[in-house]
A and B are shown apart, each in its own frame.
Chain A
Amino acid sequence: MSAIPAALATATTLGGAGALAGLGLPYRLRVPVVGLLTAGAGVAGAAAGVAALGGSRWATDLPGLLPLVGTHLAVDALAGVFMAVAGAVVVAVAVYGVGYAAGHGPHGLGSRTAQAMLPLFALTLVLVPAAASVSTFLVLWELMALVSLLLVLAEHRERASVRQAGVWYAVMTHLGLVLLLAAFALFAARAGGETFAALRAGAHTVSPTVRGLVFVLAGLAFTSKAGAVPLHAWLPRAHPEAPSPVSALMSTAMVNLGVYGLIRTGLDLLGGGPAWWWLGLIAVGGVSAVYGILQAAMASDLKRLLAYSTSENMGLVFIGVGACGLFTSYGDRPLAALALAAALLHVVNHAAFKALLFCAAGSVVRSTGLRDLDRLGGLRSRMPATAGLFALAALGAVALPPGNGFISEWLLLQSLIHGLQVPGVAVAVVLPLSVALIALSAGIAAAAFVKALGVGFFARPRSPRADGAREAPPLMIAGMGLLAAACVALALVPGLLGDALDRAVSAIGLPGSGALSGGGVRVRLTDISASLSPLWVVAALAVAIMAAVGLPRLYGRRRRRMNARLWDCGGGAPTPRMAYTATSFAEPLQRVFDDVLAPEQDLNVTPVRESAYLVERVRFERRVPDRIEHRLYEPVLRALAGTGRSARRLAGGSVHLYLGYGFVGLVVLLVALAVGW
């Protein structure tokens, strides 16, 4: 008897109970009870995922649950990865969310709707990977989208921009759903069945053109959900405007499901495909990685920065998935397994550090009401725990050795570099290019997170609100502590995940990669000679840092120390306004990438009335717009608006005209039927 059905049933019960409690309980009881039930659902979901990763599989059909088609559920190790990640993030965020919503008043996240939706959202995040038929998957997928939309809108009374973000999110997520519906309808019709098992079995009978079309449509929908360029525009709007616990869930567990959908559809249901699919996916991933992190480095809104960084990390994951498909299509299965294992490990790592980053950013927002890095600063002394946790997570995000992001990016680079032995012109061109793109994005990520941490948390406060910041309540810190522990564990002993990742990779028919063998301490690649011991790297770094800090202190103590006034060029103490801001920090980088970013600037000089030579006021404004959004979305929106305007002429207000329409419509229909369909 597998533990999976019991765990999933528990999760469903607790999630449902949480939704009811959110609706029914008064404000005081609501937040802690919902938090507890959500955390319980998360624990159960994570347990189901871990059980699946441990090697047990489970499948069931519940014919009565959905009309006509019934519900099909199945859990394998691949689903287990995403289930376990979602469950773990839900637990930490639920604990954090109790502290976040308490004392905030019965609005925003503490409101009845939001508290009822939060457990449902957590539940759908856990259940989507368990779906084993098209209809079950789409129902859960749409439920997840709707519930998250309501959660994004939780603070709509406080900021008008929330509503706009909600509209963007609603439109784009439903656009994705339409694409997904089209893809799966086509696939199911040609493959002769709508359960995943039937699709898997019938995929070989479908013509290559249709398979390609299915992959492109589903790929667009799933990459959009994961926030990859070019359908990313909702992500930098919705993630910053949502309450921070919701941002943390959306930016980790929900975007992960985009990756899951793509792996499930492309590599499992369609059973892989020709090289052009995967080259396209690598291109999307590469562009997302560099463009996302470039926009993150320019952003001065803390949560927008984190949202764009999600775009970047999902791009890296898609490079890994694309490389896996590419190697499979060329027949190099061990290398494909390594690439997929790297992508999955990056999914796990990204979830850990990004959830922590969003939670820490949420503490800042809750305490100061500010997201603008230019007006923050000085938080290290006012919120030491939050600042420390943010620093820990930022270390993971920059992909440098002691952080957890380093190991998965290292694995990804190893798989790409060793992929050069695969023959083919496209491979020889694309793989070195993607290695270069990953390196570039890692470099810019370092700049972006140095900015977020240095400008946002160090130096002196640049506004009264930042000056009055207070440390987050203990429950929020406890939630963040769970995520921080996950980050540290992933950084020190990623090898513990080795067997689980092997099972997840072999769930789609690839041989286990053995990428993370060696009992946790060592990462050794079995097929290519490369190894890495994260624990020793960290130990060596710690010794080096301690030596660098300790030795001068040991020898410097004999000297006399005296306090002196800070050298301020003789002109008086510098004010906080003179400090480096996020905008000024990003300016040199913006110059370097001027052609890509195309910043817009306005200079308004108002002269005094008497003379054109005397200036009364100068107003300078500089924006870095999302250029892809500018070029790709605005023409479409303009065309849509134009169509709408011209269609308005059809409704002239005359009853005769409308009767005429009805008559013409009837005649056309009858003629069509008479001619014989």
Chain B
Amino acid sequence: MGLLRRIRETGRAAEPAPPRPEGDVPEKARELGGSVQVRCVDAGSCNGCEIEIAAAFNPVYDAERYGARQVASPRHADVALVTGPVTRNMAEPLRRTVAAMGEPRLVVAVGDCAINCGEFAGGHGVEGAVADVVPVDLTVPGCPPEPDAIVAALRRVTGR
């Protein structure tokens, strides 16, 4: 009973939905019909972006209400959320992860490091940006990007 009361008292935690982000739905994402399964790949991130991604799926930002859902295997996924500069050890696993996803598939590079290696550019363990390893469809700039920005990018994919 205590749990039910807590639920009633808390009410709705999610913020009101912001307006639809600008920009078209990418060509490939149209086939997905507004329901997108997301697999996160940490290619060498400092974990800042991971915290923001976790926040994007929490009850406050609630990315799931727009049709994006996290899954545990690339075999189930339509979208790869890749964070961090791609390290040497993660370059091949990243390629295999993207190859393991069914078509149509999209790659979203989250954070400055994923876009241009950010702080770690030129490091000896860094292979390059995500776009150097796999084709990237969308980018979310920021160090780290705010959950709002991540949700906005996912909404562009789902179109909702």
Interface residues of A (CB under 8 A from B): 564-565, 567-571
Assess whether B116 is interfacial by the CB under 8 Å rule: no
Assess whether B70 is interfacial by the CB under 8 Å rule: no
Docked CA distance A568–B73 (Å): 10
Docked CA distance A571–B93 (Å): 6
Residue of B92, B96, B97, B99 with highest tally of chain A CB at under 10 A: B96
B73 in contact with A567 (CB, 8 Å): yes
A567 in contact with B75 (CB, 8 Å): yes
Top 10 A-B residue pairs of the complex, sorted by shortest distance between their CB atoms = A570-B93, A570-B96, A567-B100, A570-B97, A567-B75, A571-B93, A565-B99, A567-B73, A567-B74, A565-B96
B100 in contact with A564 (CB, 8 Å): yes
Chain A proximity mask over B98-115: 1 for CB below 8 Å, otherwise 0: 011000000000000000
Docked CA distance A570–B96 (Å): 6
Assess whether B40 is interfacial by the CB under 8 Å rule: no
A570 in contact with B75 (CB, 8 Å): no
A567 to B, closest residue via Cβ: B100
State the main secondary structure of chain A at its contact with B. Answer: loop
Q: Select B92's contact among A567, A569, A570, beta carbons within 8 Å.
A: A570
Docked CA distance A571–B95 (Å): 11
Docked CA distance A565–B93 (Å): 13
Within 8 A of A (CB), among B30-79: 73-75
Question: Known: A564-B100, A565-B99, A565-B100. Is A570-B73 also a contact (CB below 8 A)?
Answer: no
Docked CA distance A567–B96 (Å): 8
Assess whether B153 is interfacial by the CB under 8 Å rule: no
Docked CA distance A569–B96 (Å): 8
- Which residues of B lie under 8 Å from residue A570 when comparing CB positions? 92-94, 96-97, 100
Interface residues of B (CB under 8 A from A): 73-75, 92-94, 96-97, 99-100
- Which residues of B lie under 8 Å from residue A568 when comparing CB positions? 96
B74 to A, closest residue via Cβ: A567
A570 to B, closest residue via Cβ: B93
Minimum distance in angstroms from A573 CB to a CB of chain B? 11
Docked CA distance A103–B102 (Å): 53
Query: Can you name 11 A-B pairs with beta carbons within 8 Å?
Result: A564-B99, A565-B96, A565-B99, A567-B73, A567-B74, A567-B75, A568-B96, A570-B92, A570-B94, A570-B96, A570-B97
Minimum distance in angstroms from B107 CB to a CB of chain A? 15
Docked CA distance A567–B72 (Å): 12
- Which residues of A lie under 8 Å from residue B74 when comparing CB positions? 567
Minimum distance in angstroms from B61 CB to a CB of chain A? 28
B90 to A, closest residue via Cβ: A570
- Which residues of A lie under 8 Å from residue B93 when comparing CB positions? 569-571
B73 to A, closest residue via Cβ: A567
- Which residues of B lie under 8 Å from residue A564 when comparing CB positions? 99-100
Apart from A564-B100, A567-B75, A568-B96, 12 more pairs, CB < 8 Å:
A564-B99, A565-B100, A567-B73, A567-B74, A567-B100, A569-B93, A570-B92, A570-B93, A570-B96, A570-B97, A570-B100, A571-B93
- Which residues of B lie under 8 Å from residue A565 when comparing CB positions? 96, 99-100
Docked CA distance A567–B100 (Å): 7
- Which residues of B lie under 8 Å from residue A571 when comparing CB positions? 93
- Which residues of A lie under 8 Å from residue B100 when comparing CB positions? 564-565, 567, 570
Docked CA distance A564–B101 (Å): 10
A571 to B, closest residue via Cβ: B93
- Which residues of A lie under 8 Å from residue B96 when comparing CB positions? 565, 568, 570
Docked CA distance A304–B74 (Å): 42
Docked CA distance A613–B90 (Å): 31
Minimum distance in angstroms from B105 CB to a CB of chain A? 13
Minimum distance in angstroms from A566 CB to a CB of chain B? 9
Docked CA distance A568–B74 (Å): 11
Docked CA distance A571–B92 (Å): 8
- Which residues of B lie under 8 Å from residue A569 when comparing CB positions? 93
Minimum distance in angstroms from B93 CB to a CB of chain A? 3
Docked CA distance A41–B125 (Å): 77
Docked CA distance A565–B99 (Å): 8
Minimum distance in angstroms from B79 CB to a CB of chain A? 17
Minimum distance in angstroms from B92 CB to a CB of chain A? 7
Docked CA distance A565–B75 (Å): 11
Residue of B73, B74, B100 with highest tally of chain A CB at under 10 A: B100
Docked CA distance A565–B96 (Å): 9
B95 to A, closest residue via Cβ: A570
Docked CA distance A571–B89 (Å): 10
- Which residues of A lie under 8 Å from residue B75 when comparing CB positions? 567
- Which residues of A lie under 8 Å from residue B94 when comparing CB positions? 570
Minimum distance in angstroms from A561 CB to a CB of chain B? 13
Minimum distance in angstroms from A182 CB to a CB of chain B? 67
Docked CA distance A677–B32 (Å): 105
Docked CA distance A568–B95 (Å): 12
Docked CA distance A567–B99 (Å): 9
Minimum distance in angstroms from A329 CB to a CB of chain B? 58
Docked CA distance A649–B99 (Å): 80
- Which residues of A lie under 8 Å from residue B92 when comparing CB positions? 570
Minimum distance in angstroms from B144 CB to a CB of chain A? 23
Docked CA distance A567–B39 (Å): 14
Docked CA distance A147–B75 (Å): 61
Residue of A564, A569, A570 with highest tally of chain B CB at under 10 A: A570
Docked CA distance A564–B97 (Å): 12
Docked CA distance A567–B75 (Å): 8
Minimum distance in angstroms from A389 CB to a CB of chain B? 36
Docked CA distance A269–B96 (Å): 75
Minimum distance in angstroms from B74 CB to a CB of chain A? 7
Docked CA distance A108–B94 (Å): 56
- Which residues of A lie under 8 Å from residue B97 when comparing CB positions? 570
Minimum distance in angstroms from B71 CB to a CB of chain A? 13
Minimum distance in angstroms from A676 CB to a CB of chain B? 92
Docked CA distance A564–B99 (Å): 8
Docked CA distance A571–B73 (Å): 14
Docked CA distance A569–B100 (Å): 10
Docked CA distance A571–B94 (Å): 10
Minimum distance in angstroms from A553 CB to a CB of chain B? 21
Docked CA distance A567–B93 (Å): 10
Minimum distance in angstroms from B124 CB to a CB of chain A? 22
A566 to B, closest residue via Cβ: B100
Minimum distance in angstroms from B42 CB to a CB of chain A? 11
Docked CA distance A569–B93 (Å): 8
Minimum distance in angstroms from A292 CB to a CB of chain B? 40
- Which residues of B lie under 8 Å from residue A567 when comparing CB positions? 73-75, 100
Minimum distance in angstroms from B94 CB to a CB of chain A? 7
Docked CA distance A464–B55 (Å): 50
Docked CA distance A567–B74 (Å): 8
A568 to B, closest residue via Cβ: B96
- Which residues of A lie under 8 Å from residue B99 when comparing CB positions? 564-565
Docked CA distance A250–B27 (Å): 71
Docked CA distance A540–B92 (Å): 50
B41 to A, closest residue via Cβ: A570
Docked CA distance A568–B96 (Å): 9
